[in-house]
Amino acid sequence: MSFIVAAFRPAARSMAAAYMTRTGAVFATQKTGLVSTRGYAAAGLTREDAEKRVFHVLQNFDKVDASKVSTGAHFINDLGLDSLDVVEVVIAFEEEFAMKIPDAEAEKIFTADDAINYVLAHES
């Protein structure tokens, strides 16, 4: 056990020194009223990720036969959904992608490809 402690002691010491230095620097900048921060945005949504998530929503919808789901499958003609079901699917897309799809735009979404294209064009 003493070997492990001896091996990590220098690393712990340098980390503590770095922390104390950074802490001191933060206090110095706070005294002047300036605080430096960095923010990082998540990587954008890829087409493959959007497609997987759209397919997941469709395949888990009660009235959809999962084997019929494809990018070109029409919600009404190919998947057998009615207009109310399409509204429910669009709401599920809104929840999946944490976005609001206006009614005028929702009326244009009739295939998985339409949904994927909309999500990619309007992701925030």
Is the distance from CB of 81 to CB of 64 less than 8 angstroms?
A: yes
Phi-psi category of 117—alpha, beta or left, where left has phi over 0 and alpha has psi -120 to 50?
alpha
CATH topology of domain 47-122: 1.10.1200
Which residue has tokens 């009614």? 103
Per-residue pLDDT tens listing for the chain (124 residues): 455 545 555 555 554 444 444 444 444 445 555 555 665 556 688 999 999 999 999 999 999 999 999 999 999 999 999 999 999 999 999 999 999 999 999 999 999 999 999 999 998 6
| Catalytic machinery residues | 82
Degrees to nearest 5, angle at CA 80 with 122 and 106: 20
Domain spans of the chain, in order of start? 47-122
